[in-house]
Amino acid sequence: MAGDDSPDGSLPLKGGHGRDGRTPPNAFQAADSSPPWGGAIGREGEFGNANTSATPHEQTALEDGVFEALTWKVRPGLEQPAKLSAIVIAALLAFTAGTFALHSPLLGIAGSVMILAATAEFWLGTAYAVDEEGASSRTGLSYSRILWKEVKRAVVTPIGIKLSPLEESTRLAPFRGVFLRFGKEDRVLIESAVRMLGGNDVRFVEGTAD
């Protein structure tokens, strides 16, 4: 579906409505055939270059009153192979120590599983989604989701956006909400979608994640 380019040359994006029914002033109004960073659109509609570890699968759009989901995945291990190797070695050492030193294969398996589970976000990666109802993150079997109507505050950091149901930062803040980690090239797209869908009821602040 064709549209006009945005007048200021910013990232083209289909317009949408926040939860208050109005289009915030910073929402993008049109969609182009290519992303602003020059990456190609792949066969599955993926944005970004071939070597990126975070590729939004669908450009946000408002069509027939339905906001098309924006999804992407971030795998830090692809960009830091040395740390990834260290995790694998540590898991193997834990298995070896439990199996041969302690003569308990069960302890060896448990030790290696604990190491891999604690570092799953790094080597397995996290899948993120932003849709008309809310935002979510999934790492393996761990799943978190927050609805836009529950979001009170959005903390914009250099590496992502924390969507929190708390109006102020408290001791419970690290355990509440959803953190959306930016990929290599999609910060503008993700932040713009969050601002558009969050509406005027969400207070945006800059800082570090809770």
Which tens digits make up the pLDDT trace of 119-165?
Answer: 998 999 999 999 999 999 999 889 999 999 999 999 999 999 999 99
Indicate if 160 and 181 belong to the same structural domain: yes
Query: Which tokens belong to 125?
Result: 């990666």
**Structure confidence at residue 1 (pLDDT):** 46
Secondary structure (H, E, C), the chain: CCCCCCCCCCCCCCCCCCCCCCCCCCCCCCCCCCCCCCCCCCCCCCCCCCCCCCCCCCCCCEECCEECCEEEEECHHHCCHHHHHHHHHHHHHHHHHHHHHCCCHHHHHHHHHHHHHHCHHHHCCEEEEECCCEEEEEECCEEEEEEHHHCCEEEECCCEEEEECCCCCCCCHHHCCEEEECCCCCHHHHHHHHHHHHCCCCEEEECCCC
Indicate if 67 and 12 belong to the same structural domain: yes
**Structure confidence at residue 170 (pLDDT):** 85
Indicate if 105 and 187 belong to the same structural domain: no
The reply to whether the predicted model has a pTM over 0.85 is no
Indicate if 4 and 85 belong to the same structural domain: no
Indicate if 135 and 202 belong to the same structural domain: yes
Indicate if 137 and 92 belong to the same structural domain: no
Indicate if 190 and 163 belong to the same structural domain: yes
Residue 31 has pLDDT above 80, yes or no: no
Range of the domain at 106: 81-118
Which tens digits make up the pLDDT trace of 160-179?
Answer: 999 999 988 888 888 899 99
How many structural domains does the chain have?
2
Indicate if 110 and 162 belong to the same structural domain: no
**Structure confidence at residue 151 (pLDDT):** 96
